[in-house]
A and B are shown apart, each in its own frame.
Chain A
Amino acid sequence: MNYFIGIDIGSTTAKAVVVDHEGTILAQTVQRSGYDFAAVARDVFAVVLQRANLQRESVTGIVSTGYGRRNVDFADQQRTEIFCHARGVHHYFPGPVTVVDIGGQDNKVIHLGPGGERLGFTMNRKCAAGTGAFIEEIAYRLDLSLSDLNRMAEEAESEVTIGSFCTVFSCTEILGMARRGIPVADIIKGVFRSVVKRVSEMDSLDGKVVMTGGVVDHNPIVGQMLGEALGRSVEMPPHPQAIGALGAALIARDLHNTAVKS
């Protein structure tokens, strides 16, 4: 039996996924990336090995991805998060799709063709507006737990409009709203609306849209709101935060299969 591991060291969280030769997920984990990417890579690797009850020697291939991909010195190959998210999404949604990934500091729109081939992609400009970092900053300023945001947005009776692109100025705007007594739930829903607007203006979101990343994993209402904006439902794979790591694991498997064939 061959086993493959994908490790995604993102700016905010580190993820690892183990798959077998059929692509079945055996274990996965997510934890904060912190500042030592090499150490967190070893940590998530050890966690998934233990959860899958595997020894290091029984792992056939490891692919790393994410901003910290070069810090994973035990990986056999590195691939960008664009490639890995595309591969992970194609696993669940074969055929042409548009992937919208909202990460810790990067948003990505990736267009996939019928065979999962990447036709093009767009990343956010040099600005964290609309990313996970934006939401985290707002939660910090309002002294709210990230785990409460989705519930609060669902309970909102209305929503505010946030006018600024800039995270810092948005915070100033939001604090002004809070001072005026606007319900926090309405503010949070407005924050999510702002995220939806930012990703909607990055690129054309054609055809079937699949959302990934930690933001929609923890706040599925964002997917629902994007669907409302597009006028059609938006899909999500299981555990969207780990889809890059899954893609990396599947690429490790693909590389092995190609090598065996040749």
Chain B
Amino acid sequence: MAEIKKLETAKLMKKVMADHFYEIDAAFKSGEPKVAWCTSVGPAELLRAMGFVVYFPENHAAILGASRAANDCIPAANAIGYSPEICSYLTSDVGAYLKGFTPLAKIYDGIETIPKPDVLVYNTNQCRDVKDWFEWYAREWKVPCLGIESFVNVGDVTKNHVDSIAGQMRKLAADITAATGNKMDEDRLKETVRLSRRCSDLWKDVLEMAANKPSPLTFFDGTIHMGPAVCMRGTQVAVDYYETLLKELRGWVDEGVAAVAGERHRIYWEGMPIWGKLRENAKLFLELKTCLVASTYCNSWIFSALDPDDPWNSMARAYTELFIVRDDDYKEDYYRRMLDIFGFDGIIFHDAKTCPNNSNCRYGLPQRFSKATGIPFITIDGDLNDLRCYSEEQAITKIEAFIEQLDG
């Protein structure tokens, strides 16, 4: 049976993620520096420039999913009125808190709990659920919860959009200062944005290594190696990490190493990962000699608009240009660009039951794209964390049938 190929840099990943969590835990326990929670595509640069260490609950929720602890936790949140129909990151994370559980305590000696924040900062560019999620903790801990109310279904990103979000960001910084005493350091902001942009560029280069045939990495690798881009962008650590990873991947490409031995088909994955089934699905595609070469999900931490010479406006633009914020015409065009770069044979849409904003198969987009390009697609019903919404046998049959279809 084919084995999943592991990049050497994965070992470094374990270290940088451990350092990340220990840094936050130390800050939480000592009270210095202050801790901010931030949504994963929220204004992390702003918070770092104000002297916070930054914790990302979505990362914690993904760990709950990947470790299959989520389904033990979700019912606790359901029981206090948070529906099984809403974001299962939210219900996993709040449920884990209610049960007094965190996988971080199992993974990292000395960490007992998630870090209580000094401020919670959200951006609704992903969804309203992140705000509801943070507001739950704000009520629980009586901690200020501040954020940015983003646009939705954006076509072209205009100056009006940028001005509005940049204005909200400046007000947010002032409100955070009022709430916590931490002040904005403009020079530090420029440097943070510079490092974040560098991280973004490197992450983009890493992902585009998959344009090579055969591809040296898969979507599943991407979901693991995106950790520093999510949790550490704006730091030198993340930049160093992706320089190392990129170097290793270039070596693999030079040597013709394939992530999927005998790569026969190349597929684009649209939607959230099914965190609790990453390993099983990675193996399934390995056996089918099919490489998931690219995904909107992993691409979501590419922020090419960031510009250290214009940090406020460029942050506003970067966090409004995101795929998830855009309208369907933009999304269809985006798939075409991905098709040009990666040359895939088909798309798998993951219809995540509790994540409508990341389920782009509900308004006819797959059918329109397929009709326009001839690229076939299937839809898998599942969820990011709630495995009650996932029928594994049915999904396997769909995937195998899709590959048979591509085989002709």
Known A80-B400, A126-B381, A126-B389; judge A121-B394 contact (CB<8 A).
no
Query: How many angstroms from the CA of A67 to the CA of B393 in the assembled complex?
Result: 8
Could you tell me which residues of chain B, from 374 to 397, have a CB within 8 Å of some CB in chain A?
376-379, 381, 389-391, 393-394, 397
B401 at the A interface (CB under 8 A): yes
Closest CB in chain B relative to A136 CB, distance in Å: 18
Let me know if B401 and A121 touch, CB within 8 A.
yes
B398 at the A interface (CB under 8 A): yes
CB < 8 Å neighbour of B397 from A81, A117, A119, A122 = A81
Known A82-B401, A83-B401; judge A123-B394 contact (CB<8 A).
yes
Let me know if A121 and B389 touch, CB within 8 A.
no
Let me know if B398 and A123 touch, CB within 8 A.
yes
Chain A: interface residue count, which band?
10 to 19
Known A126-B390, A126-B391; judge A82-B404 contact (CB<8 A).
yes
Let me know if A83 and B404 touch, CB within 8 A.
yes
Residues of the A chain whose Cβ atoms lie less than 8 Å from the Cβ of B404? 79-80, 82-83, 118
B81 at the A interface (CB under 8 A): no
Q: Closest A-chain residue to B399, C-beta based? A: A80
Let me know if A121 and B378 touch, CB within 8 A.
yes
Let me know if B381 and A120 touch, CB within 8 A.
no
Closest CB in chain B relative to A182 CB, distance in Å: 33
Among A80, A119, A122, the one with the most B-chain Cβ atoms within 10 Å of its Cβ is A80
B405 at the A interface (CB under 8 A): yes
Residues of the A chain whose Cβ atoms lie less than 8 Å from the Cβ of B398? 123
**Majority SS at the chain A contact face:** mixed
A125 at the B interface (CB under 8 A): yes
Query: How many angstroms from the CA of A81 to the CA of B396 in the assembled complex?
Result: 12
A106 at the B interface (CB under 8 A): yes
Residues of the B chain whose Cβ atoms lie less than 8 Å from the Cβ of A83? 401, 404-405
Residues of the B chain whose Cβ atoms lie less than 8 Å from the Cβ of A118? 401, 404-405
Let me know if A67 and B397 touch, CB within 8 A.
yes
Chain A window 68-110, contacts with chain B (Cβ cutoff 8 Å), 1 for yes, 0 for no: 0000000000011111000000000000000000000010000
Closest CB in chain A relative to B294 CB, distance in Å: 21
Residues of the A chain whose Cβ atoms lie less than 8 Å from the Cβ of B370? 120
Residues of the B chain whose Cβ atoms lie less than 8 Å from the Cβ of A82? 397, 401, 404-405
Closest CB in chain B relative to A67 CB, distance in Å: 6
Closest CB in chain B relative to A8 CB, distance in Å: 13
Residues of the A chain whose Cβ atoms lie less than 8 Å from the Cβ of B393? 67
Query: How many angstroms from the CA of A118 to the CA of B376 in the assembled complex?
Result: 10
Q: Closest A-chain residue to B408, C-beta based? A: A117
Let me know if A119 and B394 touch, CB within 8 A.
no
Query: How many angstroms from the CA of A79 to the CA of B397 in the assembled complex?
Result: 9
Chain B window 31-66, contacts with chain A (Cβ cutoff 8 Å), 1 for yes, 0 for no: 000000000000000000000000000000000000
Query: How many angstroms from the CA of A67 to the CA of B395 in the assembled complex?
Result: 11
Known A82-B404, A83-B404; judge A120-B376 contact (CB<8 A).
yes
Q: Closest A-chain residue to B388, C-beta based? A: A126
Which B residues are within 8 Å of any A CB, using their own CB? 370, 376-379, 381, 389-391, 393-394, 397-398, 400-401, 404-405, 408
23 examples of A-B residue contacts, CB within 8 angstroms? A67-B393, A67-B397, A79-B404, A80-B397, A80-B400, A80-B401, A81-B401, A83-B404, A83-B405, A106-B397, A117-B408, A118-B401, A118-B404, A119-B405, A120-B370, A120-B376, A120-B405, A121-B401, A122-B379, A125-B381, A126-B389, A126-B390, A126-B391
